[in-house]
Structure 1
Amino acid sequence: MISKKKAVIGAVLLMAVTFLLTNIFNVTIGNKVIISKSDYQEFQKLSKVRFLKDRIEDEFYQDVKEEDLIAAMERGIFDGLDDPYSQYYTKDEFKDLMEMTSGSYVGVGIVVSPGEDGFITVVAPIEDTPAEKAGILPGDKITKVDKVKYSAKEMDKAISIIKGEPGKEVVLSIIRENKPEFDITIKREQILIKSVKSEMMDEIGYMRISSFDERTGEEFDENLLSLKNNNPKGLIIDLRDNPGGLLDQVKEVADSILGEATIVYTEDRAGNRQYLKSNSSGKLDIPLVILVNENSASASEILAGAVRDNKAGTLVGTTTFGKGLVQNVVPLKDGSGYKITMAQYFTPNGEYINEKGITPEYVVEIGEEDTEDVQLNKAIEVIREKNK
């Protein structure tokens, strides 16, 4: 016969095992599943979402597509972060995002950002594209696409509409400083981006980097070699209106001009740091000036900060855009994906530039009355002074 004490101990052990099974593991008993308490609470929340979706499908005055509601729910998770750079992308949108950094896509040739004022804001038109030729300017606010209103939260949807078939037109409604809203009609084209261009200006090499896409590092090295064959007395790298791009391409450029140095470091919410360093394979042995302005953003700011903090060159122009956040792009199995802000970044000397930007050593404003590129002229002057 089992003693009363042993029976009590057995009951306690049974209760403990049951608690562990139901709060740590999911257990199947017959055709029923026992789930943990936390999982059940989570299931209740998700059930409410499913309930609301069903109610909308049953009660909304128009027909709705289930896939549209699901996509909206997926977007909503990222909307809850209140971070304009963290976003969910449908399969088609994710494909468009990948094309944007490949250097070839159909569109009008603009880089946009979600503005804090709720508008889709043009960071910069890409050089030699329909948008630039049509007169789109940095800072323009896009309010409508083909007469349909879009806010900053709907930026990705607006981008998907702006893209389309080459040869077809799209109408962008624009708000520009001190002007009433107006429309610009732009014909879509196959955009083939050559992100690096160069030329000799007397005895000084000049290189323009319009964005950092998949071939920028390779194009930079090709152009740098061509300039070096002319024995330049200095190099100007123009990052004005460069909206950024791929960090690995910044590293490739830095490898060719910095030598072994810290380019940038990131810090996540737990305080963990990761350092990105250039290798020792290349270091520029001539004076270097970096041109920047208020539309130099993200990846271009990283390069500018690395050059400044490593005393590898001089910055000329105006204070940069101020984007000090790093995003990770993650593809999902169904072809969709998401972009999430995973860390802050700091210049090698530890400066956090978000919403502040980088102020160059020589601040040079371009006035409406200026008929010459006074910033470029100052860059040439700085190089000539260093050669004395």
Structure 2
Amino acid sequence: MVKRKQLFFAVIISVIITAVLTFAITNTVSLSLGDRVILSKEDYKLVKETQKLLTLKKYIDKYYLEPVDTEKLMEGAAKGMFEALGDPYSVYMNEKEFKEFNESTSGSYGGIGVIVTDKDGYVTVVAPIEDTPGEKAGLKTGDKIIKVDDIDVTGIGLEKATSLMKGKKGTKVVLTVIRENRTEPLIMEIKREDIVLKTVKAEMLDDDVAYIRISMFDEDTGKEFKKALSEIKTKNAKGLIIDLRQNPGGYVTQCVEVADELLDKGVIFYTEDKDKNQVVTHSKDGKIDIPFVILVDEGSASASEIVSGAVKDRKAGLLIGTKTFGKGLVQSVEKLNDGSGFKLTIQKYYTPNGIDINKVGIEPDIEVKAMEIAEGQNPEDVKDVQLERAIEEIRKLIK
């Protein structure tokens, strides 16, 4: 069995080398006689590096004290390539991890409902998902999760950390959390629930002011937003408040559908890849006919920043709140034949005015800081000064 695995590994490496050689032969004009080929410097380097992997594998098989699991070595090599990029958003996932990743952006799954990112090796909260155990437990943007149960998750990778936080409905998980301006870590015991992603909620705040909350951008958000707009029109809304606070992002296609309802014909955003190739995304001519404001905060990231950046640059509406998170990178998600997959950062996006918001964020037109929630205090008892200011501003626009 071991020899068969070794043979399989060697075949894989040979296929890679053959592919590189084939590419080099068909793309190099000058060839020498006999069985030698002329490679470009880059192709030769790739062949040498690939040969090094095979050499290391042979040494491990020959001398390592314990039995060797070739499949684990292959998984480790794949993960290592992505980790070496130093980009928290580029990740290789095995079959189980990739399945869980897809569940977290569509349908439902068992867990606590929190979006996290890697910041300096820490599992850092971007935003808890609305009406989930994570939000109810008091997790906040910027919290650093250092332990899940008794497992130290510092530096272990986002996919592993999020996998530990997921589980069957009704089971409990204990998080150890570092929060800014606190000397001692917080210990949070959270009961997992089925996290059902309903991302759009609409209501009338007054007779003529509508409120639409978008908690994240999943595969149905665009459709749900259009439905919400239709509902408020039947109620004769004269002004609209769109709440993107604590919205960690999601599908770019869905945020484009939302922006398309808010903007006249023009640029929503554009992307640029490593070769400086640009792709411009435009809105169609079909803007809503009532004034609107958008609420943002430090938990508004990625896709929600695409919407707010376009609205601000094109002066279509007002942004109220605090500076956004600052994630201006685009990832491609790919599934491999064996069920595994990966996310890879392939582009950076820019607002219509060419502003790079990555690690910078978007400043609101009107800054209003949220009131702090004291420990043990019910969030519903805290005055929402940002929303109050939004109502005040939309009233001015209606008049």
Shorter-chain TM range is: 0.7 to 0.9
| Mapped pair 1:298 → 2:309 | no
TM-score (ref. length: structure 1)? 0.87
Verify the 8 A CA contact 1:104 1:190 in the aligned structure 2.
yes
| Mapped pair 1:163 → 2:166 | yes
Where structure 1 has 5 or more consecutive residues not aligned to the other structure, the ranges are 1-19, 27-32
- Three-state SS of the structure 2 residue aligned to 1:160 is helix
Closer/same/farther in 2, CA of residues 271 and 22 from structure 1, 3 Å limit? closer
Verify the 8 A CA contact 1:103 1:194 in the aligned structure 2.
no
Per the alignment, residue 307 of structure 1 pairs with 311
Verify the 8 A CA contact 1:107 1:189 in the aligned structure 2.
yes
Per the alignment, residue 177 of structure 2 pairs with 174
- What amino acid is aligned across from residue 137 of structure 1 in structure 2? K
- Three-state SS of the structure 2 residue aligned to 1:349 is coil
User: 1:255, CA displacement in angstroms?
Assistant: 2.0
Verify the 8 A CA contact 1:111 1:124 in the aligned structure 2.
yes
Residue by residue over 1:235-268, the C-alpha shift from the partner in whole angstroms, topping out at 9 and shown as x without a partner, is 0000001000000001111222213221110011
User: 1:347, CA displacement in angstroms?
Assistant: 0.4
| Mapped pair 1:285 → 2:289 | yes
Q: Distance in 2 between matches of 1:274 and 1:40?
A: 33
| Mapped pair 1:377 → 2:378 | no
Closer/same/farther in 2, CA of residues 152 and 260 from structure 1, 3 Å limit? farther
Per the alignment, residue 386 of structure 1 pairs with 397
Q: Distance in 2 between matches of 1:235 and 1:215?
A: 21
Larger Rg: 1
Per the alignment, residue 208 of structure 1 pairs with 213
Per the alignment, residue 133 of structure 1 pairs with 136
Verify the 8 A CA contact 2:371 2:384 in the aligned structure 1.
no
Matches within 5 A, 1:169-318: 169-177=172-180, 178-202=182-206, 203-280=208-285, 282-318=286-322
Per the alignment, residue 151 of structure 1 pairs with 154
Q: Distance in 2 between matches of 1:23 and 1:320?
A: 46
| Mapped pair 1:121 → 2:132 | no
- What amino acid is aligned across from residue 174 of structure 1 in structure 2? V
- Three-state SS of the structure 2 residue aligned to 1:265 is strand
Closer/same/farther in 2, CA of residues 359 and 22 from structure 1, 3 Å limit? closer
Q: Distance in 1 between matches of 2:86 and 2:23?
A: 35
Per the alignment, residue 4 of structure 1 pairs with none
Q: State percent identity of aligned pairs.
A: 51
Q: Distance in 1 between matches of 2:61 and 2:191?
A: 38
Q: Distance in 1 between matches of 2:75 and 2:218?
A: 28
Closer/same/farther in 2, CA of residues 294 and 201 from structure 1, 3 Å limit? same
- Three-state SS of the structure 1 residue aligned to 2:237 is coil
Q: Distance in 2 between matches of 1:23 and 1:209?
A: 50
Q: Distance in 2 between matches of 1:303 and 1:22?
A: 42
User: 1:54, CA displacement in angstroms?
Assistant: 4.7
Closer/same/farther in 2, CA of residues 201 and 69 from structure 1, 3 Å limit? same
Residue by residue over 1:133-186, the C-alpha shift from the partner in whole angstroms, topping out at 9 and shown as x without a partner, is 222222111112221112345111111222222222222221112142233222
- Tell which deviates more after alignment, 299-308 or 91-100: 91-100
Verify the 8 A CA contact 1:22 1:35 in the aligned structure 2.
no
Verify the 8 A CA contact 1:89 1:338 in the aligned structure 2.
yes
- What amino acid is aligned across from residue 387 of structure 2 in structure 1? L
Verify the 8 A CA contact 1:25 1:35 in the aligned structure 2.
no
Per the alignment, residue 72 of structure 2 pairs with 68
| Mapped pair 1:80 → 2:88 | no
Per the alignment, residue 142 of structure 1 pairs with 145
Per the alignment, residue 13 of structure 2 pairs with none
Q: Distance in 1 between matches of 2:384 and 2:116?
A: 25
- Three-state SS of the structure 2 residue aligned to 1:121 is strand
Q: Distance in 2 between matches of 1:123 and 1:57?
A: 43
TM-score (ref. length: structure 2)? 0.84
RMSD over aligned CA atoms reads 2.5
- What amino acid is aligned across from residue 105 of structure 1 in structure 2? Y
Residue by residue over 1:255-298, the C-alpha shift from the partner in whole angstroms, topping out at 9 and shown as x without a partner, is 22213221110011221110111222x31111110000011000
- Three-state SS of the structure 2 residue aligned to 1:241 is coil
Q: Distance in 2 between matches of 1:22 and 1:166?
A: 51
Per the alignment, residue 348 of structure 1 pairs with 352
- What amino acid is aligned across from residue 148 of structure 2 in structure 1? V
Q: Distance in 2 between matches of 1:107 and 1:155?
A: 15
Q: Distance in 1 between matches of 2:23 and 2:92?
A: 33
- What amino acid is aligned across from residue 212 of structure 1 in structure 2? F
- Three-state SS of the structure 2 residue aligned to 1:69 is helix
Q: Distance in 2 between matches of 1:139 and 1:48?
A: 41
Closer/same/farther in 2, CA of residues 124 and 58 from structure 1, 3 Å limit? farther
Per the alignment, residue 7 of structure 1 pairs with none
Where structure 2 has 5 or more consecutive residues not aligned to the other structure, the ranges are 1-20, 28-34, 374-380
- Three-state SS of the structure 1 residue aligned to 2:157 is helix
